[in-house]
Amino acid sequence: MVLKNVQRWIALGALLVIVVPFLAAMPIGALTETVKGVGTHLGGFDVFRHNLTLGLVMVVSGWLTFGIAPIGIGAVGSISTGYAVGAYVHGLGWQQTFALLPHMFPEMLSFILFAFVGMQSAAIGTSFALQKTPLRITNSYVLTVNAALFGAVLLVCAAGLLEATVLI
Protein backbone atom coordinates (compact mmCIF):
# COMPACT_ATOMS: atom_id res chain seq x y z
CA MET A 1 0.00 0.00 0.00
CA VAL A 2 2.87 2.37 0.69
CA LEU A 3 4.03 2.07 -2.93
CA LYS A 4 0.53 2.90 -4.21
CA ASN A 5 0.47 6.18 -2.26
CA VAL A 6 4.01 6.97 -3.39
CA GLN A 7 2.95 6.37 -6.99
CA ARG A 8 0.12 8.90 -6.69
CA TRP A 9 2.41 11.56 -5.20
CA ILE A 10 5.03 10.91 -7.85
CA ALA A 11 2.47 11.33 -10.65
CA LEU A 12 1.21 14.60 -9.16
CA GLY A 13 4.77 15.82 -8.57
CA ALA A 14 5.81 15.02 -12.14
CA LEU A 15 2.84 16.96 -13.46
CA LEU A 16 3.52 19.98 -11.22
CA VAL A 17 7.25 20.01 -12.00
CA ILE A 18 6.51 20.36 -15.71
CA VAL A 19 3.39 22.57 -15.80
CA VAL A 20 3.97 25.16 -13.05
CA PRO A 21 7.43 26.36 -14.19
CA PHE A 22 6.18 26.49 -17.79
CA LEU A 23 3.28 28.76 -16.84
CA ALA A 24 5.50 30.89 -14.61
CA ALA A 25 8.18 31.41 -17.28
CA MET A 26 5.82 32.33 -20.12
CA PRO A 27 5.18 35.95 -19.05
CA ILE A 28 8.89 36.46 -18.33
CA GLY A 29 9.78 35.38 -21.87
CA ALA A 30 7.10 37.67 -23.28
CA LEU A 31 8.45 40.65 -21.36
CA THR A 32 12.16 40.15 -21.97
CA GLU A 33 12.61 38.60 -25.43
CA THR A 34 11.49 39.19 -29.00
CA VAL A 35 11.71 36.37 -31.52
CA LYS A 36 11.69 36.94 -35.25
CA GLY A 37 10.25 34.28 -37.56
CA VAL A 38 13.43 32.86 -39.04
CA GLY A 39 12.38 29.20 -39.17
CA THR A 40 14.25 26.19 -37.93
CA HIS A 41 16.73 23.82 -39.45
CA LEU A 42 15.62 20.94 -37.26
CA GLY A 43 13.43 18.28 -38.81
CA GLY A 44 11.05 15.90 -37.12
CA PHE A 45 13.71 13.21 -36.71
CA ASP A 46 16.07 15.66 -34.99
CA VAL A 47 13.34 16.63 -32.55
CA PHE A 48 12.49 12.95 -31.97
CA ARG A 49 16.14 12.06 -31.30
CA HIS A 50 16.65 15.01 -28.96
CA ASN A 51 13.46 14.36 -26.97
CA LEU A 52 14.08 10.62 -26.73
CA THR A 53 17.65 11.19 -25.53
CA LEU A 54 16.50 13.72 -22.93
CA GLY A 55 13.72 11.39 -21.80
CA LEU A 56 16.08 8.46 -21.37
CA VAL A 57 18.49 10.69 -19.43
CA MET A 58 15.58 11.54 -17.13
CA VAL A 59 14.83 7.84 -16.59
CA VAL A 60 18.42 6.73 -15.98
CA SER A 61 19.21 9.72 -13.78
CA GLY A 62 16.12 8.83 -11.77
CA TRP A 63 17.64 5.43 -11.03
CA LEU A 64 21.00 6.91 -10.12
CA THR A 65 19.74 9.78 -7.94
CA PHE A 66 16.76 8.03 -6.32
CA GLY A 67 14.29 10.07 -8.35
CA ILE A 68 15.68 13.54 -7.68
CA ALA A 69 17.33 14.38 -11.02
CA PRO A 70 14.17 14.03 -13.18
CA ILE A 71 12.60 16.78 -11.09
CA GLY A 72 15.43 19.21 -11.89
CA ILE A 73 15.68 18.23 -15.55
CA GLY A 74 11.92 18.52 -15.99
CA ALA A 75 11.75 21.89 -14.24
CA VAL A 76 14.63 23.40 -16.24
CA GLY A 77 13.19 22.14 -19.53
CA SER A 78 9.78 23.43 -18.61
CA ILE A 79 11.11 26.86 -17.67
CA SER A 80 13.02 27.20 -20.94
CA THR A 81 10.00 26.06 -22.98
CA GLY A 82 7.67 28.48 -21.20
CA TYR A 83 10.18 31.30 -21.66
CA ALA A 84 10.47 30.52 -25.38
CA VAL A 85 6.69 30.38 -25.86
CA GLY A 86 6.35 33.76 -24.16
CA ALA A 87 9.04 35.20 -26.41
CA TYR A 88 7.36 33.77 -29.51
CA VAL A 89 4.01 35.26 -28.52
CA HIS A 90 5.66 38.64 -27.98
CA GLY A 91 7.65 38.55 -31.23
CA LEU A 92 5.36 36.71 -33.64
CA GLY A 93 1.92 37.09 -32.15
CA TRP A 94 -0.55 34.42 -31.12
CA GLN A 95 -1.40 33.17 -34.61
CA GLN A 96 2.13 32.15 -35.61
CA THR A 97 2.86 30.90 -32.11
CA PHE A 98 -0.12 28.56 -32.30
CA ALA A 99 1.45 27.05 -35.42
CA LEU A 100 4.42 26.04 -33.24
CA LEU A 101 2.41 24.70 -30.30
CA PRO A 102 0.92 21.43 -31.57
CA HIS A 103 4.17 19.51 -31.15
CA MET A 104 4.72 20.98 -27.69
CA PHE A 105 1.76 19.25 -26.03
CA PRO A 106 2.79 15.64 -26.72
CA GLU A 107 6.38 16.66 -25.99
CA MET A 108 5.51 18.00 -22.53
CA LEU A 109 3.26 15.03 -21.78
CA SER A 110 6.11 12.71 -22.71
CA PHE A 111 8.43 14.54 -20.30
CA ILE A 112 5.83 14.22 -17.54
CA LEU A 113 5.78 10.46 -18.22
CA PHE A 114 9.58 10.23 -18.42
CA ALA A 115 9.88 12.06 -15.08
CA PHE A 116 7.25 9.72 -13.61
CA VAL A 117 9.15 6.67 -14.87
CA GLY A 118 12.46 7.92 -13.46
CA MET A 119 11.01 8.71 -10.05
CA GLN A 120 8.77 5.61 -9.90
CA SER A 121 11.62 3.29 -10.91
CA ALA A 122 13.69 4.62 -8.04
CA ALA A 123 10.78 4.12 -5.63
CA ILE A 124 10.19 0.56 -6.86
CA GLY A 125 13.86 -0.37 -6.63
CA THR A 126 14.27 1.12 -3.18
CA SER A 127 11.08 -0.49 -1.88
CA PHE A 128 12.07 -3.88 -3.25
CA ALA A 129 15.64 -3.60 -1.95
CA LEU A 130 14.37 -2.74 1.53
CA GLN A 131 11.85 -5.62 1.24
CA LYS A 132 8.91 -3.30 1.93
CA THR A 133 6.86 -4.60 -1.00
CA PRO A 134 6.25 -8.23 -2.03
CA LEU A 135 7.51 -9.33 -5.45
CA ARG A 136 4.03 -9.88 -6.95
CA ILE A 137 3.02 -6.28 -6.14
CA THR A 138 6.36 -4.96 -7.37
CA ASN A 139 5.73 -6.73 -10.70
CA SER A 140 2.43 -4.86 -11.18
CA TYR A 141 4.21 -1.54 -10.58
CA VAL A 142 6.93 -2.50 -13.03
CA LEU A 143 4.19 -3.10 -15.63
CA THR A 144 2.77 0.35 -14.88
CA VAL A 145 6.19 1.92 -15.36
CA ASN A 146 6.72 0.05 -18.63
CA ALA A 147 3.33 1.21 -19.90
CA ALA A 148 4.21 4.81 -18.98
CA LEU A 149 7.57 4.48 -20.74
CA PHE A 150 5.89 3.08 -23.87
CA GLY A 151 3.38 5.96 -23.79
CA ALA A 152 6.20 8.48 -23.43
CA VAL A 153 8.02 7.08 -26.47
CA LEU A 154 4.79 7.19 -28.52
CA LEU A 155 4.27 10.82 -27.50
CA VAL A 156 7.85 11.65 -28.53
CA CYS A 157 7.12 10.09 -31.93
CA ALA A 158 3.96 12.20 -32.24
CA ALA A 159 5.88 15.36 -31.30
CA GLY A 160 8.50 14.60 -33.97
CA LEU A 161 5.82 14.06 -36.61
CA LEU A 162 4.05 17.27 -35.68
CA GLU A 163 7.33 19.21 -35.66
CA ALA A 164 8.03 17.99 -39.20
CA THR A 165 4.86 19.79 -40.34
CA VAL A 166 5.70 23.22 -38.85
CA LEU A 167 6.58 25.79 -41.51
CA ILE A 168 7.48 29.12 -39.91
Say what the pLDDT of residue 41 is. Answer: 56
35 part of a folded domain = no
146 part of a folded domain = yes
pTM assigned to the model: 0.77
88 part of a folded domain = yes
Domain count, the chain: 1
d(C-alpha 105, C-alpha 11), whole Å:
17
pLDDT in tens, 110-138: 888 888 888 888 877 777 777 776 666 66
40 part of a folded domain = no
- Please provide the distance, in angstroms rounded to a whole number, between the alpha carbons at the two ends of the chain: 50
Say what the pLDDT of residue 128 is. Answer: 74
36 part of a folded domain = no
Tell me which residue range forms the domain holding 64.
2-30+45-163
pLDDT in tens, 36-78: 655 555 566 777 888 888 888 888 888 888 888 888 888 888 8
CB-count burial class (<10 Å; 0-12, 13-18, 19+) for 135: exposed
Secondary structure class of 85 (helix, strand, coil) = helix
